[in-house]
Amino acid sequence: MLKKILIANRGEIALRIMRAAREMGIKTVAVYSTADKDTLPVRYADEAVCIGPAQAQKSYLQIPSIIAAAKNTGAQAIHPGYGFLAENADFARACADNDLIFIGPAADCIDRMGDKASARSTMMTCGVPTVPGSDGVVDTVDEARRFADEVGYPVLIKASAGGGGKGMREVHDPANLESEFMAARAEATAAFGNGDVYLEKLVLRPRHVEIQVLADDFGNRVALCERDCSLQRRHQKLLEEAPSPALDEETRRAMGVAALKAVRAVDYRSAGTIEFLLDHDGSFYFMEMNTRVQVEHPVSECITGVDIIKEQLRIASGEPMSCADRAPFSPYGHAIEFRINAEDPEHDFRPCPGTITRFELPAGPGVRVESYLEPGACISPYYDSLVAKLIVWGIDRDEAIARGKRALHEFKIEGIKTTIPFHLSVLEKKAFCAGKVYTDFIETEMGA
C-alpha cells in the first residue's frame, strides 16, 4: 500500500482525498497557492508545500513545481482530484517519467477519451450505443451533408477537442449546414487549436445519465449504478441525484453493461464515468467518458456504500478493489447532491467572492457535507465558485427531498451569496418532485 501521496488540488476535493488517505494510514502532502495558504486542507495535510501565486496557471497547473514538491517530500503518488491537471495526459506522463504513480488511468486512456471523435469511434467499434451520425471526424461540408441527410435534421456539430458543451452547434435547416459547419470549425480552431468536428443527430430534451465505474489491475470492473445530472445551467451542473428517476432496473443493467464494455475496450483502470444521453423512449447513447473522479461522486457512494476515493488509492497501489464481490450493484435508497456555489442566483449566477462571516453546518440523519470552509474563510476570485456540497440520503426520493429541504434550511452561510435559495426553489417545483428533470429544466422551469 502507498505510504505517502501528494494531492495536486485545493478546496473540498483536496480535503476529501486527505480524509480517505488518513483512514487508510497514508500520509498526505498538500500543495497550495499563496491565495490558499490559510485554508483547511493545507492545515489538515501532514505536510504542505507552496507552489506559486494565486493564478492557477502559475500554481495548480505548474507541472514541474508539483512534480518537484512530490519528489522533495518523498511522496510516491499524486492524486489530481478533478479540474486542473486531472485530465492532462502530459501530467500523467510526467508523473510516470519521475517514478511517481498518477492516481488515475493511463495517459493513453486520457488521450483517447479526451479526443471526443476518437472516443466516439472507439465506442462504435466496441458495441456501445452512440447517437446516429458520423464515424469520427467530418472533414468537408459534402461529407457533413451526407451524414445529415442520412440521419435527418436537426443535427448537432460537435468539436472533437470540445466536451462539456463547448463548441457545439445545432443545425435545424439544411440551408444552414454549410455556414454552421464552417463556423463550428473556426470556433473550434480558435478555442482549442484543433478544428476537427463530428456530427450527430440532435436528441431533443434528453436527460444526462452517467455510470460510475471502477476498474483495477486484476480484471475487476464494476458499475456503481448511475447518476442523473440533467439539472444543469449553461453546462454547469447544479444538482445531481442517484439513482436516476428515469431508469428502470432493466435499463440500468443495460447501461451498466454498455459502460463496462467501454471500460474494457480501452483497458481502463481507476475510477471513471461514462456519460450517456437518455432519450424519451428509454434508448441511451454514449456521450463522453470522464477519466477522473467527479464532483458528484458522493451520491454514488451514498447509494452503494463504496468509498470511491479509497478504491482509487487501493487500485493505484496495485491492489484489487475491495468491492468487486458486491457487484452487480443495485441502488440502496436515494441521494441528492446540491452544489453550494459562491454565486448570486438573483444576478445571473455571478461569482460572489468574499469573507465568510457565519458558517453553520447542517447535520442529522442522512446528511453529508463536503466543504473546506470555516468561519472567517475567504472565497478567492481565482478559482471555481464551489464552496460546499450538501449530499442528502433517504430511503426513497421523497425522503431525500424532504431531508434536502431541511438541511438546506439548517445550512447558514453569511458574508457571501450562495446557491442555497436556488436549490430550495428547485425542491418546490412540481416537475422536480415528479422526477421530470431534463437538460432544459432550469431554463423552462426556473426561467434562468
The DSSP secondary-structure symbol of 365 reads T
DSSP 383: S
Q: Are 192 and 296 spatial neighbours (Cβ–Cβ below 8 Å)? A: no
169 three-state secondary structure: strand
Q: Residue 274, interface with ligand MV4 (CB under 6 A)?
A: no
* Residue 234 beta carbon to ligand MV4: minimum distance, rounded to whole angstroms: 8
Q: Does 200 bind ligand MV4 (CB under 6 A)?
A: yes
Stretch of 41-49, 159-167, 260-268, 397-405 contacting ligand MV4, by CB under 6 A: 159-167
* Interface residue with ligand MV4, options 115, 196, 241, 288 (CB under 6 A): 288
Terminal alpha carbon distance of the chain: 48
Cell of 365: 440523519
> Based on CB atoms, which residue is closest to ligand MV4, 191 or 324?
191
Regarding 202 and contact with ligand MV4 (CB under 6 A), the answer is yes
For residue 291, state whether it binds ligand MV4 (rule: CB under 6 A): no
Measured between alpha carbons, how far is residue 394 from residues 328, 331, 337, 360 in Å?
21, 12, 12, 22
Would you count residue 240 as binding ligand MV4 (CB under 6 A)? Answer: no
SS3 322: coil
For residues 432 and 240, give the distance between their C-alpha atoms in angstroms, rounded to a whole number: 12
Stretch that binds ligand MV4, among 4-12, 161-169, 246-254, 410-418 (CB under 6 A): 161-169
From residue 234, give the alpha-carbon distance in Å to each of 59, 120, 242, 267, 349: 28, 23, 21, 33, 11
| Residue of 277, 306, 342, 373 interacting with ligand MV4 (CB under 6 A) | 277
Min CB(150)–ligand MV4 separation in Å: 14
Distance CA 93, CA 318 (A): 18
Residue 129 beta carbon to ligand MV4: minimum distance, rounded to whole angstroms:
12
Q: Does 187 bind ligand MV4 (CB under 6 A)?
A: no
Query: Does residue number 164 form part of the binding site for ligand MV4 (CB under 6 A)?
Result: yes
Minimum separation from the CB atom of position 34 to ligand MV4 (A): 34
Helix (H) / strand (E) containing 27: strand 27-33
Q: Which of 206, 272, 345, 366 binds ligand MV4 (CB under 6 A)?
A: 206
- Among 28, 59, 232, 294, contact with ligand MV4 (rule: CB under 6 A): 232
Rank residues 286 and 372 by Cβ distance to ligand MV4 and give the closer one: 286
Q: Which CB sits closer to ligand MV4, 9 or 232?
A: 232
**Interacting stretch for ligand MV4, rule CB under 6 A, among 52-60, 197-205, 254-262, 396-404?**
197-205
List 86, 128, 156, 373, residue binding ligand MV4 (CB under 6 A): 156
Told to check if 439 binds ligand MV4 by CB under 6 A, we report yes
Burial 133-155 (b: 16+ CB within 10 A, else e): bbebbbeeeeebbebbeebeeeb
Residue corresponding to grid cell 462539456: 164
Residue closer to ligand MV4 (CB basis): 70 or 255:
255
Q: How many chain residues bind ligand MV4 (CB under 6 A)?
A: 17
- Catalytic one of 10, 112, 169, 292: 292
Q: Contact, 421 vs 345, CB < 8 A? A: yes
Near ligand MV4 in 73-132, by CB under 6 A? 131
- 435 near ligand MV4, judged by CB under 6 A: no
CA–CA dist 325, 329 (Å, integer)? 10
Q: Is 397 noted as a catalytic residue in this protein?
A: no
CB 190 within 8 A of CB 224: no
Q: Which is nearer to ligand MV4, 288 or 337 (CB)?
A: 288
Nearer to ligand MV4, 178 or 279 (CB): 279
Instruction: Specify burial of residue 378 (Cβ count, 10 A radius: 0-12, 13-18, 19+).
Output: middle
Closest separation between CB of residue 128 and ligand MV4, Å?
15
Q: Is the dihedral of CA 266, 132, 255, 446 positive or negative?
A: positive
For residue 109, the one-letter residue type is C
Catalytic residues: 292
Residues that bind ligand MV4 (CB under 6 A): 131, 156, 163-165, 200-203, 206, 208, 232, 235, 277, 287-288, 439
